[in-house]
Amino acid sequence: MTVPPVAIIMGSQSDWDTMRHTAETLDALAIAHDTRIVSAHRTPERLYAFATGAKSAGFKVIIAGAGGAAHLPGMTAALTPLPVFGVPVESHALRGVDSLHSIVQMPAGIPVGTLAIGRSGAVNAALLAAAVLALSDPDLAGRLEAWRSRQTAAVAERPQNPA
Ligand SMILES: Nc1c(C(=O)O)ncn1[C@@H]1O[C@H](COP(=O)(O)O)[C@@H](O)[C@H]1O
């Protein structure tokens, strides 16, 4: 079985509402991906097995979404040499600021590329993964360029119903 280039992992089923935007953006770029629930807190052995085996399995980039005390992206980065992008999921109590701070403040030596809180971060994690993969995939580079051109063309010059 061929392993897709991107793994999307998330701490809980409840993160899917955010992380589905990563999956949808990768779909729009025809980038195959795998989605899994992996939690540093609740399923530490699953995390260890996944992260230590991810590179040899054939994954190229890992996108990790988590909320609250969001240790998942950092712990994943500690266990693999692959690039890890972290998406702070918006939490109820602190609106995702806790998630953001947990993911972004990594100690020097173990990087996590941290995106914005919520949907924007989930979309941009996919685009960043696409940009990395496009460095060695000219077809994907073309698809990414076309995606951005469509986005530009979709922005109206004037707002509808201006106040
Ligand atoms: N931050 C983490 C980790 C982790 O970092 O390992 N595992 C679960 N969680 C987060 O807990 C939040 C609440 O989870 P539940 O909705 O299941 O209670 C989720 O946003 C999840 O990412």
For a pocket test of ligand 1, which of 72, 104, 105 has the largest count of ligand atoms closer than 8 A to its C-beta?
Answer: 72
Please state the pTM of the whole predicted model: 0.97
CB of 96 within 6 A of ligand 1: the answer is no
Ordered structural domains, the chain, with CATH: 6-153 (3.40.50.1970)
DSSP string, 5-49: SEEEEESSGGGHHHHHHHHHHHHHTT--EEEEE--TTT-HHHHHH
Ligand 1 centroid – CA 65 distance (Å):
9
ipTM associated with this complex: 0.99
Find out whether 42 is annotated in a ligand binding site.
yes
pLDDT tens column, 22-51:
999 999 999 999 999 999 999 999 999 999
pLDDT tens column, 134-159:
999 999 999 999 999 999 999 999 99
Give start and end residues of each alpha helix (H) in the chain: 16-28, 44-57, 72-79, 97-104, 119-134, 138-153
pLDDT tens column, 1-15:
789 999 999 999 999
Q: What is the mean pLDDT of residues 43-61?
A: 98
Find out whether 143 is annotated in a ligand binding site.
no
* DSSP single-letter state for residue 81: S
Q: Which residues pair with 69 in a beta bridge?
A: none
